[in-house]
């Protein structure tokens, strides 16, 4: 069983899909969308496309939370540039406004990795 499902029970609707299209998710509205440890695996164009798609899925005043991983991958996975300032600026084109940012060390104690969390809201 997924740990998130185990912890939240029926209080959270969990969806698994693929950015940037999110083909299995209908044009429903969501109060919160969490994109965790994914953004750096998207090309710059996919990041822009994803912002567009995600903004259409948020309720007015809904929150979009995106974590950005900084640091190289040493296990062969492909990663692309992530930049908080660029993301904040691009989000404006999709009616997303920054509410909060936070920086954190890596929970796996990798000294060359750190995380940024950006929280956006969509205004009507």
Q: What is the DSSP annotation of 27-49?
A: S--EEEEEE-S-GGGS-HHHHHH
Say whether pLDDT at 8 is over 80: yes
Helix (H) or strand (E) holding 96: strand 96-105
Q: What are the b/e assignments for 87-97, b being 16+ CB within 10 Å?
A: beebbeebebe
With cut-offs at 50, 70 and 90, classify the pLDDT of residue 112.
confident
In this prediction, residue 24 carries a pLDDT of 86
Per domain, the residue ranges of the chain are: 27-122
User: Taking residues 65-82, what's their average pLDDT?
Assistant: 83
CATH class of 27-122: alpha beta
* pTM higher than 0.75: yes
User: Taking residues 75-99, what's their average pLDDT?
Assistant: 91
């Amino acid at each position: 069983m997924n740990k998130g499902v185990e912890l939240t029970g029926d209080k959270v609707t969990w969806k698994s899909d693929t950015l940037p299209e999110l083909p299995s998710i209908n044009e429903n509205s969501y109060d919160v969308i969490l994109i965790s440890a994914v953004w750096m695996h998207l090309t710059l164009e996919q990041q822009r496309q994803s912002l567009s798609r995600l903004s259409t899925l948020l309720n007015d005043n809904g929150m979009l939370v995106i974590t950005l991983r900084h640091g190289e991958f040493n296990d062969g996975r492909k990663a692309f540039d992530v930049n908080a300032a660029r993301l904040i600026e691009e989000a404006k084109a999709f009616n997303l406004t920054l509410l909060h940012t936070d920086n954190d060390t890596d929970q796996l104690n990798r000294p060359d990795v750190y995380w940024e969390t950006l929280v956006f809201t969509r205004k009507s």
